[in-house]
Structure 1
Amino acid sequence: MKEILEVLPNHIEHDILTITSSLEDLEEIRLRINKSVELVFHSHSYFLDKHFFTEQDAKEFLGKISQHSVYRMEEELRNGYITIHGGHRIGISGKVTLTNGQVKAITHISSFNIRVAKEHKGTAKAIIPYVYNKQSEKMFNTMMIGAPKSGKTTLLRDLIRSISDGLYGIKSARVSLIDERSEIAAPFEGVPQHDVGRRTDVMADCPKAEGMMMMIRSMSPEVLVVDEIGDEKDVKSLKEAVHAGVQVICSIHGYSLEEIRKRPSLAPLFQDHVFQRYILLDHLQSPGKIERVYGETFDSLTNNIRGNRYEMDRSHSDTVHVHVGRNRYR
């Protein structure tokens, strides 16, 4: 949270610290030009009505999160977000311009959404008996399914740490993490800021499909972890990893196993029985609660595991130009 407060305009930082008695359950801070700042908690939201978030505030904020060099954030800005020190992701919305059907620039930024990253150790302990094969001393190939803000990132981070350090009865293993959005390990200048274990190697800010193949060739992992798979390239790389003898763990956006199984791009994973375990997170209750664990044949292995109540849990063109309100950044 310290990293977020440091980049906020001073008056907003002061209001948050003054009005909010506890920030432990804070999930998002939403900044909209000429509107009150909104603090989003799991079960409610709260507006800071004392001050509006102005255009000048937006200029100052963008300068801080980009370290006063928007050029260095080009790829992230094209995807609509910036990840800052500490793994906090800041979503951006506004007007975009297109070139040949691809995003060329984000213009007239009107809103920022700061998603608060939280590191809570021990969140993965409840699922270890279901995802670790004691007989073979290896992880089951596992898919973690959850809606936005259901706690996927935090649970995945702690599972990586547990495998890497050999916790909770697991035989330690070399882990390669493809952290495309820099949310899991939160690397700063290449060094992870979150604890992902001492046997974990991280490839950050790299497309998932390419990153998986690079890590298999260069780091000889025993377990490969990737966040938020989705397209055919990701599926192909996951299958290649399994055929290379690597255990794979991934997460995916979804509300149910049935929904995920209907996605055409994922069909090869189910047809070839790539995964032996499916972890479904409960999106209606507290973040981090596990609703159900499924086996390879989609049978329910258990119901209502008591998970820890924590979360936090991202074309090619030339240059991105960014404007805040009527003012332009390049």
Structure 2
Amino acid sequence: MEKKDELIKIFSKNIREILNRVAVDYDEVQEIRLRVAAPLLMVYKNEEYYISRLGQLSRDCRDAYLVSRGELKETMEYMSNYSLYAFEEEMKQGFLTIQGGHRIGVAGKTILDESGIKTMKFISFINVRLSHQVKGCASPVLPYLYDKEEILHTLIISPPRCGKTTLLRDLIRQISNGTKDHAGMTVGVVDERSEIGACYQGMPQNELGIRTDILDCCPKARGMMMLIRTMSPRVIAVDEIGSREDLEAMEYVMNCGCKLIATVHGSSIDDLKQKPVLRRLVDERIFERYIVLNNKGKIGNIDQIYDSRGTQLYKAEVHRMGKRWNSEECMAYG
């Protein structure tokens, strides 16, 4: 089933008909947002558009179709197969994952108990984030991440919507399967928000490789410790680090001889230095490679790659001129 057909069946009848008329490539659609009594929105090729009743994309909010509470409720019923209670654990975290790996973020009134968030009701806001797997997108950076047969500790730095999870996903797949130059390795993935593997009923909807084990919906710090103790990974991959607990768990992973690949929100290494918890990662040279993404061109566009000392190993402008410089040349260039 095509991605469009697979996706729009989860929406209410009216919104489904509207989305059927939208003339876009669904491989380039990133988000569809529904809010009660607010415009129907689509993020397409990193740009936000209003969607009209006729399925036309517009920059003018006056053209937008307004979503009703009934349509949002009907959409939630389709998304959960009329069994929201079955997704109760996921709903506590504010999202659920559907077939195809698409992630549905929800917001409304939270119900609390002594242990924290119990459930959510009066859901009035939905964000459908489409799952995109771009096989091969990590191939240009892989040669920079190996030291002989070992993976180097790697941090992917990226602003929002620049494809860091897409790049991470393909790195996991290729490291797990192996390439013509390197044997496959056992990879452990802590997928706290079900975005990397996009597991649906326990099965990953994205291909993460034949030697990959996934802890789905598990807090990153706890999951990293669990994988080390139970699955003997050679590499652990996590998305969106940032807390002090994450840092402590990463140090534990590294001290156990396991390699780490992680992502973080940011625009540069200097940007990380402005954040107290992350500054230590840079100052103590915890990571051996830094991959910096930008929002120019395709998703997962590589801007720069650095080693632990800040030596520039790759620069996008150089690569586009058809020449890949060595580290000495890059230092002279930059």
Which amino acid counterpart does residue 96 of structure 2 have in structure 1? I
Aligned match of 2:307: 295
Change (3 A) 1:68 1:150: same
For 1:267 and 1:123, how far apart are their aligned partners in 2?
29
Aligned match of 2:28: 25
Cα distance, 1:88 vs structure 2: 1.5
Aligned match of 1:82: 96
Aligned match of 2:217: 205
Aligned match of 1:178: 190
Aligned match of 2:37: 34
Which shows bigger deviation, 218-227 or 4-13?
A: 4-13
For 1:44 and 1:208, how far apart are their aligned partners in 2?
31
Which amino acid counterpart does residue 193 of structure 1 have in structure 2? Q
Cα-to-partner distance string for 1:148-172 (whole Å, 9 max, x where unaligned) = 1110111111000110111252221
Aligned match of 1:247: 259
Cα distance, 1:59 vs structure 2: 1.0
Q: Does 1:8 align with 2:8?
A: no
8 A contact 1:9–1:57 mirrored in 2 = yes
Cα distance, 1:73 vs structure 2: 3.0
For 2:200 and 2:97, how far apart are their aligned partners in 1?
10
**Structure 2 counterpart of 1:282, from 294, 300, 320:** 294
8 A contact 1:142–1:249 mirrored in 2 = yes
Aligned match of 2:62: none
Q: Does 1:119 align with 2:122?
A: no
Give ranges in structure 2 of 5+ residues lacking alignment. Answer: 54-64, 321-334
Cα distance, 1:35 vs structure 2: 3.4
Which shows bigger deviation, 111-120 or 72-81?
A: 72-81
- The structure, 1 or 2, with the larger RCO (C-alpha pairs under 8 Å, 6+ apart) is 1
Cα-to-partner distance string for 1:49-85 (whole Å, 9 max, x where unaligned) = 2153211111111122233333343343333322222
Aligned match of 1:157: 169
Aligned match of 2:69: 55
For 2:167 and 2:291, how far apart are their aligned partners in 1?
11
For 1:56 and 1:84, how far apart are their aligned partners in 2?
21
Change (3 A) 1:43 1:262: closer
For 1:256 and 1:226, how far apart are their aligned partners in 2?
19
Change (3 A) 1:175 1:283: same
Which shows bigger deviation, 288-297 or 104-113?
A: 104-113
* Secondary structure of 1:45's aligned partner: strand
For 2:101 and 2:84, how far apart are their aligned partners in 1?
18
Q: Percentage identity across aligned positions?
A: 36
For 2:8 and 2:180, how far apart are their aligned partners in 1?
35
For 1:43 and 1:262, how far apart are their aligned partners in 2?
26
8 A contact 2:107–2:123 mirrored in 1 = yes
8 A contact 1:128–1:168 mirrored in 2 = no
For 1:256 and 1:73, how far apart are their aligned partners in 2?
37
Cα-to-partner distance string for 1:162-213 (whole Å, 9 max, x where unaligned) = 1011125222111111111111111222221211110111111111111111
Give ranges in structure 1 of 5+ residues lacking alignment. Answer: 308-330
Aligned match of 1:316: none
Cα-to-partner distance string for 1:207-264 (whole Å, 9 max, x where unaligned) = 1111111111111111111111111111111111111110110111112211112322
Q: CA RMSD in A?
A: 2.3
**Structure 2 counterpart of 1:45, from 40, 43, 48:** 48
8 A contact 1:162–1:168 mirrored in 2 = no
Change (3 A) 1:7 1:46: same
Aligned residues: 305
8 A contact 1:162–1:170 mirrored in 2 = no
